[in-house]
Structure 1
């Protein structure tokens, strides 16, 4: 089945996203492990991804845990350092696809405020033909509703979508809806897949 549009996850497909790595560098691995064991930081971030206010959500969590207040606030105050660096080969693939006339969508769990902040740093986040960002949609992957809404809004049949994501649960849901998928574990294999599908004729520079 010919591909009509390519769908990119953002975190760990276009931009590295490793909060633990950031905290290890800032407070050391032992303290980071203690922090993450005591405070559900990923659950906090899930609320942001669902559309809750970026700063208010994080600062409220910090106030709930005064012994970790400064460390938790880093999730907001230095968030862009956690969301880094860009995965250059993937970014170039996105741009080469668009140059070749292939529609490119984003389907990403991302907060409203955090996505707006990321757009000030990563210009390619303005370059999707259609961005489907969970914070604006009020639903996150792997809820089937976010996939259904992309299908409905784009008008592209599920079997004509090719979706790259680093999480197996997100990939499994897309597959269950008939999407073609690529479980992302590095940009080289992703580029090779795009070439194999005939969407890219040469490797990105």
Structure 2
């Protein structure tokens, strides 16, 4: 069946998202390992992705762990350093698809506040035909509700959606609904898939 729209995850597909790398540079690997072992930073971030207030969630966690308060607050105060840089080849592919008349959607686990912050730094966040952001929808991948929301809002049949994401569980959830999927590991393999589907020429996918 012909692909009618392409759906992009954002983190680790269009921009890098490496909190551990940031903290390794900031406080050293051993201290970072202790921090992440003792404080559920990723759990807190999932709450933000579900719609919790960004600064409020980070600072509340810091208050509960005063021994790590400064380090935890970096999750808010230095967030853009964790979510950078962009992945240029992936961004080019997104733009080439749109120029070729292919609708492009974002389906992303992202907080309301962090998404708005990132839009300032990354103009292409405003270039999607539509962005389905978990913080607004209050459901996250791989929960069925977020995929159903995109299907209902776009009116596109699952088999006509091609979705790329870096997390296998998110890909599996989409595939279970009948979506066409691609596990993102590198921009070039994604480019090759887009060419093989006839969505881009080899030249456009470079």
Question: Please, what TM-score do these two structures have when normalized by structure 1?
Answer: 0.99
Are the counterparts in 2 of residues 166 and 184 from structure 1 also a CA contact under 8 Å? yes
Counterpart position of 2:37: 37
Tell me, yes or no, if structure 1 residue 98 matches structure 2 residue 98: yes
Where does 1:160-199 land on structure 2 (aligned, <5 Å)?
160-199=160-199
* CA deviation profile, 1:140-188 (whole Å, cap 9, x unmatched): 0000010001000000000000000000000000000000000000100
- How far did 1:203 drift? 3.7
Q: How many residue pairs were aligned?
A: 205
Cα deviations across residues 34-89 of structure 1 (Å, max 9, x unaligned)?
00000000000000000000000000000000000000000000000000110000
Which residue does the alignment assign to 1:69? 69
Cα distance in 1 for residues equivalent to 2:43 and 2:16: 19
Q: Is the 8 A contact 1:191 1:203 kept in 2?
A: no
Counterpart in 2 of 1:58?
58
- 2:79 aligns with 79
Structural RMSD (CA): 0.6
Residue 102 of structure 2 is aligned to residue 113 of structure 1: no
- Which residue of 1 is the match for residue 49 of structure 2? 49
Aligned counterpart, 1:2: 2
What residue in structure 1 maps to residue 15 of structure 2? 15
Conserved 8 A contact 2:54-2:111? yes
Match of 2:88 in 1: 88
Residues in 1 aligned to 2:159 and 2:20: alpha-carbon distance in whole angstroms: 36
Gaps of 5+ in 2: none
Moved segments of 4+, more than 3 Å: none
2:142 match: secondary structure:
coil
**TM-score, normalization: structure 2?**
0.99
